[in-house]
Amino acid sequence: MRRTPQHKGRMIPVFLLFTGILASGCVPSAAAAPAGTPTTPPTVVPTEAPTTPPTASPTEPATVNIQVFFTNTARYAAATQPFEEAVTRTVPAGEDLPTATLEAFFAGPTAEEKAASLEAITSGFTGLRELTIEDGIARVYLEGPCSSNGATYTIAQPIMANLLQYEEIKAVKIYDAEGVTEVPEGMDNSIPYCLEP
């Protein structure tokens, strides 16, 4: 059967209608995922938990204070006890404190302390050679010439005040430059013969 031009005219609008339907997106696009296809979950990048900075351990103090006894000559002249007066010195932490105390004693008072009548009575001794502490007994070995100059108050009193402040020391034995003391044995305090009046 031959199509007449009239039939052709009817076909064109149908063709255009079909083309419009396709252009409107009724057909699924190629980019869309087919139905029933599992989708890949988004990638999650794990984040690190916040870290707590390490706590610094408490550090030992760099210095410590010690008490050093000198003779208050004004009180001594007035016969007012106690004759020894303590001042504060700062020494490195970790030092042997009884030894540091005697070394500070021989270093003497400051100018300000001297103005306040403090003095290091040394009875001729010039310094500390050695200090040992054993079984509660402190043995003090001194250097230099020794003389009491007839006085009853000598270096013995401030040395004992300086050392007996420490709980571990129960008795003090002072030796002269020759290594001699009157009572080397026992728990009694002892001085060398040169400190006798």
Q: What is the pLDDT along the chain (197 residues), one digit of tens a residue?
A: 444 445 444 444 444 444 444 445 544 444 445 555 555 555 555 555 556 555 655 676 799 999 999 999 999 999 999 999 999 999 999 999 999 999 999 999 999 999 999 999 999 999 999 999 999 999 999 999 999 999 999 999 999 999 999 999 999 999 999 999 999 999 999 999 999 99
Domain of residue 127 covers 63-195
Cβ atoms of 184 and 192 closer than 8 Å: no
Question: According to the 3-state scheme, what is the secondary structure of 162-197?
Answer: HHCCCCCCCEEEEECCCCCCCCCCCCCCECCHHHCC
pLDDT score for 8: 47
Q: Is the residue at 40 inside a domain?
A: no
Q: Is the residue at 10 inside a domain?
A: no
Q: pTM of the prediction?
A: 0.70
How many alpha carbons lie under 13 Å from residue 154 in its C-beta half-sphere?
Answer: 20
pLDDT score for 61: 75
pLDDT score for 114: 98
In angstroms, the first-to-last Cα distance of the chain is 161
pLDDT score for 69: 98
pLDDT score for 11: 45
Q: Is the residue at 180 inside a domain?
A: yes
Q: Is the residue at 93 inside a domain?
A: yes
> Which pair of structure tokens corresponds to residue 116?
């306040």
pLDDT score for 29: 47
Q: Is the residue at 158 inside a domain?
A: yes
Q: 142, 130, 140, 129: which is closest to 169 by C-alpha? A: 140
Q: Is the residue at 30 inside a domain?
A: no
Q: Is the residue at 41 inside a domain?
A: no
Q: Is the residue at 21 inside a domain?
A: no
Q: Count how many domains the chain has.
A: 1
Cβ atoms of 24 and 16 closer than 8 Å: no
Q: How far apart are CA 190 and CA 196, in angstroms?
A: 11
